[in-house]
Amino acid sequence: MSEAKSRSSAFIEARDRATDYLVRRHYLRWTEALPWLVAVACFFLFPNRMTFGSQVLIMIMFALSLDLILGYAGIVTLGHAAFFGIGAYTVALASLRLGWSEPISGLAAAGVIAACVGVVVGWFILRYRGLTLLMLTIAFAAMLQESGNLRSDLTGGYDGLPGLMFDPLLGTFQYDLYGHTNFWYALAALAVVFYFVRRLVYSPFGQTLTGIRENVRRMHAIGSPVHLRLVTVYAISAGIAGVAGALFTQTNAYVTLTVFDFDSSAKVMVMLILGGTGRLYGPFLGAAVYMVLEDYFSKMSPTFWQFGIGILLVLTVLFARRGLLGLAEDIGGMRWGGRAADAAPRRLVWKPEHWKALGASAFDGGVLGFLVGFAVNMGHAELMTAYVTGLPAQVAVFTLGGAAIGAGINAFYLLLTSRSAVEGQAS
C-alpha cells in the first residue's frame, strides 16, 4: 500500500517536472541576449567591415530557414538555394522592370512569392524521403537556374544584373559606402524573423514537427496531418529563405544566377551543421564562424579553404554530430559532471585487439602516405612535364611517415579513451 503510494507520488513529481519543463522551456534566458549584443559590439569594433557584417547576418537568416525544415522537421534538402534565389530575383526584377524600389515592401513580396512557390513544390516533393527527395530538391534548384539562363534577356544570366537602385530605407536613411545602414537594416530584419521562428518552434506546431522528425509513423498513428504540416513548414522556410535572398540583392545592389548554385545550397547546410541543427542559435554560431573563417582563409588560398571545409565536415560528422553548440555543451558537462572520474588515475589495460587496431592504423597511415607520396611526385612531374627522379625513396619516406603518424594517432586515441581505474572496474 505504502509502496504504491510512494510510487504514485514519485509519478506526480516526475510529471510535474515534465510539465514544468514544457511550461518554462520557451522563457527567455539571459544568454539569449548574447548574439545580439555581439552583433552590436561588432558594429562599434569593426565599423569598416560592415558590408561583410551584413552578409553574415543574411547567411544567418538563410541558415535559420534551413534549420526550420532540416533541424526541426528532418527534411533533408540540397536545393534550398532555389528559394534564396527566388527572393533575390523578385526584388531585382521588381526594381528593374516594374520600378518597385521600396525596400521593405520588396522584402515582404519576396517572402510571399518564395513561400507560394514553396507550397506548390513542397506539395509535390514532400511525399518522398531519402535519395528521391534529395534528388528532387537538387533538380528543382538546377531547373530554376537553367530556366533563368534560358531567359537571360530578363535575368541577365550569369553576368547578372548590376547597378540595381533601391529607395532610401523608410524614405529617410540613405545607403552609405560603409554599409552601416545595410547592417542595421539586416539586423532588424533578422530580429523580426528570429522572433517569428522562435515563437513557431515552441508552439504546438513546432512540437508536431519534432514528432515527425523523430517518429513519423507514430505521428500518422495519432492522427497528425503529417503532409500538411510538412508543406506548411516548408513554405514558411521557403519564405524566410526568400527574405534572406531579397536582403542579399538589396545590400549588394547586384545579383547573378550563381545564387541558385548547388554550392550555395551545400554551403548553407555546412553552416547549419557546423553550428548545430535543431537548435535556435546553431545558425548564428555556424554562419558566423564559417563566414569569418572563409573570409580569412579563402583570401589566403581558395584551394586551402576548400580543403578546410572538407575537413570541417568530416570532423563534425565523426566527432561533433551536434555541432559546435553541442560540443560546447559536452565540454561543459565534462567539466561539471566528470570531476570525480578525472581525479582517479588513468589505467590502460592492454588487450590483444589493441595490437590489431594499432596495426590497422599504421597500415592506413602507410597507404595514405604512399598515395600522398605518389601524388606529390606525380604533381611535380605533371607541372614540369618531366619524370622526377627519386620516386622510390620519396614514396618510401612518405609511406613510413604515414604509418608512424597513423600508429601515433591510434596510440594517442587509446590513451585518451582509456578508462580511469574506477570506471574501468565498473564496466
Partner 1 sequence: MPQFANIAVSILFDGLAYAMFLFITAVGLSVTMGLMGFVNLAHGAFAMAGGFIVVSLTRSYGIDFIPSLIIASVTIGLVSVRFEKRLYRRLYKSTDLEQVLLTIGLAFMAIAAFTYFYGPIPKSVPLPHWLEGDVNLGFRRFPTYRAFLIGLGTVLIAILWFVFEKTNIGAKIRAAVDNRRMAESVGINVDRLFTLTFAVGSGLAALGGGLAIQLFGLTPSFAVLYLVLFLIVVAVGGLGSLKGTLLAALVIGIIDTGGKYAFPVAGNLFIYAITALVLLIKPTGFYGRE
311 forms part of the interface with partner 1 (CB under 8 A) = yes
* Cα angle, residue 27 at apex, residues 22 and 31 outer, rounded to 5°: 125
Contact positions with partner 1 (CB under 8 A) in 332-371: 360, 363-364, 367, 371
**Contacts with partner 1: how many residues (CB under 8 A)?**
57
Cα–Cα distance measured from residue 272 to residue 323, given in angstroms and rounded to the nearest whole number: 8
Q: Looking at 165-173, 185-193, 230-238, 378-386, which segment touches partner 1 (CB under 8 A)?
A: 378-386
Cα–Cα distance measured from residue 33 to residue 67, given in angstroms and rounded to the nearest whole number: 20
Mask 251-290, x = binds partner 1 (CB under 8 A)?
Answer: -----------x---x--xx--x-----------------
The HSE-up count of residue 201 (CA atoms within 13 Å, CB side) is: 24
Other CB atoms within 10 Å distance of the CB of residue 361: 20
Q: Are 377 and 391 in contact (CB under 8 A)?
A: yes
Q: What is the closest distance, in whole angstroms, from the C-beta atom of residue 303 to partner 1 in the complex? A: 5
Distances from the Cα of 368 to the Cα of 316, 388, 400, 402, angstroms? 21, 20, 10, 6
Residue type present at position 3: E
147 forms part of the interface with partner 1 (CB under 8 A) = yes
70 forms part of the interface with partner 1 (CB under 8 A) = yes
Q: What is the closest distance, in whole angstroms, from the C-beta atom of residue 316 to partner 1 in the complex? A: 7
For residue 173, the cross-strand partners are 169
Look at residues 255, 224, 222 and name the one whose alpha carbon lies nearest to residue 92.
Answer: 255
312 forms part of the interface with partner 1 (CB under 8 A) = yes
Q: What is the closest distance, in whole angstroms, from the C-beta atom of residue 98 to partner 1 in the complex? A: 26
Look at residues 192, 277, 291, 204 and name the one whose alpha carbon lies nearest to residue 240.
Answer: 192
What stretches of 203-319 show up as alpha helix (H) in DSSP? 204-214, 216-221, 226-252, 262-275, 282-300, 302-319
Other CB atoms within 10 Å distance of the CB of residue 363: 14
When binding is defined by CB under 8 A, the residue of 199, 321, 335, 356 that contacts partner 1 is 321
Q: Are 271 and 321 in contact (CB under 8 A)?
A: no
228 forms part of the interface with partner 1 (CB under 8 A) = no
317 forms part of the interface with partner 1 (CB under 8 A) = yes
Question: The dihedral of CA 275, 276, 282, 283: what is its sign?
Answer: positive
When binding is defined by CB under 8 A, the residue of 375, 393, 396, 422 that contacts partner 1 is 375
**Nearer Cβ to partner 1, position 74 or 424?**
74
Contact positions with partner 1 (CB under 8 A) in 384-413: 385-387
Residues contacting 400, CB < 8 A, separation 6+: 366, 369
Q: What is the closest distance, in whole angstroms, from the C-beta atom of residue 306 to partner 1 in the complex? A: 4
**Nearer Cβ to partner 1, position 313 or 341?**
313
Q: What is the closest distance, in whole angstroms, from the C-beta atom of residue 271 to partner 1 in the complex? A: 12
**Nearer Cβ to partner 1, position 73 or 189?**
73
Where does residue 298 rank: exposed (0-12), middle (13-18), buried (19+ CB within 10 A)? middle
Give backbone dihedrals phi and psi of 278, rounded to 5 degrees, phi first.
65, 25
Cα–Cα distance measured from residue 206 to residue 209, given in angstroms and rounded to the nearest whole number: 5
Q: What is the closest distance, in whole angstroms, from the C-beta atom of residue 24 to partner 1 in the complex? A: 30
146 forms part of the interface with partner 1 (CB under 8 A) = yes
When binding is defined by CB under 8 A, the residue of 92, 231, 309, 395 that contacts partner 1 is 309
**Nearer Cβ to partner 1, position 314 or 340?**
314
Look at residues 122, 127, 125, 123 and name the one whose alpha carbon lies nearest to residue 136.
Answer: 125
**Nearer Cβ to partner 1, position 368 or 421?**
368
139 forms part of the interface with partner 1 (CB under 8 A) = yes
65 forms part of the interface with partner 1 (CB under 8 A) = no
**Nearer Cβ to partner 1, position 111 or 366?**
366
Q: Looking at 89-97, 130-138, 197-205, 345-353, which segment touches partner 1 (CB under 8 A)?
A: 130-138
**Nearer Cβ to partner 1, position 135 or 341?**
135
Q: What is the closest distance, in whole angstroms, from the C-beta atom of residue 203 to partner 1 in the complex? A: 24
* Cα angle, residue 199 at apex, residues 196 and 204 outer, rounded to 5°: 135
Q: What residues make contact with partner 1 under the rule CB under 8 A?
A: 70, 76, 78, 124-125, 127-128, 130-132, 134-136, 138-140, 142-143, 146-147, 149-150, 262, 266, 269-270, 273, 303-307, 309-314, 316-318, 321, 360, 363-364, 367, 371, 375-376, 378-379, 381-383, 385-387
